[in-house]
Structure 1
Amino acid sequence: MTERLLRAPSLYRVVKHNGIAYIGGIVADDDSQDMGGQTREVLAKLDTYLKEAKSDRSKLLSATIFITDMNVKPDMDAAWKEWFAPDELPARATIGVADLGERTLIELIATAHY
């Protein structure tokens, strides 16, 4: 059975199916922050969505991160490493993109088991 949680205007934040939670489209609400700040906010929201899915960061399987400026990727990486225990890091890809919307620097999608 498929379960959809946390409806937004054009998507559900979490879709659960067969033991896997698919989490998509996380961006910071406060887009005045720098890359480190936006990353921390995105990860805090991911924590909330994981809890809603009856999961947690230790159960993350993969993450795809889209960022608008690869020059500030080290700031994103620093926030990422602060958030995870070293032995709980998921598989990850970081992709540079031209635009995520005005002042949005990062967007995250993730997959976790529950």
Structure 2
Amino acid sequence: MSDIERIHSTDRMSRIVKHNGTVYLCGQTAGEADWDIQRQTEECLKKIENLLADADSAVDRILSVTIYVRDMKDFAAMNAVWDAWIKDHPKPARACVEARMARPEILVEMSVVAAANG
């Protein structure tokens, strides 16, 4: 049985969990009150890239992404940023749902599962 590695842990959660060659990232948000959905999406994607690097993984190793948007009216604007970001990479499985967020300024949250390198 493989060990479970927890990276960037707090009293509440780990930002990264690795097990059996799989990387699990906690939900990523970028909820600045003056940022629109596109800026928040860009910032979430930057965080994801950095966490994947910390976990010895990368964007082209993403297996699945669950995207939560506060309001589906922002779906097309979020997708414009996503599509530009993912265009040169293998496409992961993806789900996108409308959800109530922890704080009203959060417009998008992304949860990622990826394969570790090697």
* Class of the TM-score when normalised by the shorter of the 2 chains: over 0.9
Q: 2:44 aligns with which of 42, 45, 48?
A: 42
- 2:68 maps to 66
Computed over aligned residues only, the root mean square deviation of the Cα atoms, in angstroms, reads: 1.3
TM-score between the two structures when normalised by the length of structure 2: 0.90
Residues 29-74 of structure 1: per-residue CA shift (max 9 Å, x gap): 5342100000000000000000001000000000001110101100
Separation (CA, whole Å) in 2 of partners of 1:87 and 1:42: 17
Separation (CA, whole Å) in 1 of partners of 2:89 and 2:108: 24
Q: 1:19 aligns with which of 16, 21, 30?
A: 21
Give the total of aligned pairs.
Answer: 114
- 1:106 maps to 108
State the identity as a percent: 32
Residues 66-112 of structure 1: per-residue CA shift (max 9 Å, x gap): 11010110011011011113551110000101333121001110100
TM-score between the two structures when normalised by the length of structure 1: 0.93
Distance 1:67 1:29, change over 3 A: closer
Q: Which has the larger radius of gyration?
A: 2
Q: Which residues of structure 1 form unaligned runs of 5+?
A: none
Contact 1:31 1:38 (8 Å CA) reproduced: no
- 1:77 maps to 79
- 1:92 maps to 94
Distance 1:73 1:32, change over 3 A: same
Q: Which residues of structure 2 form unaligned runs of 5+?
A: none
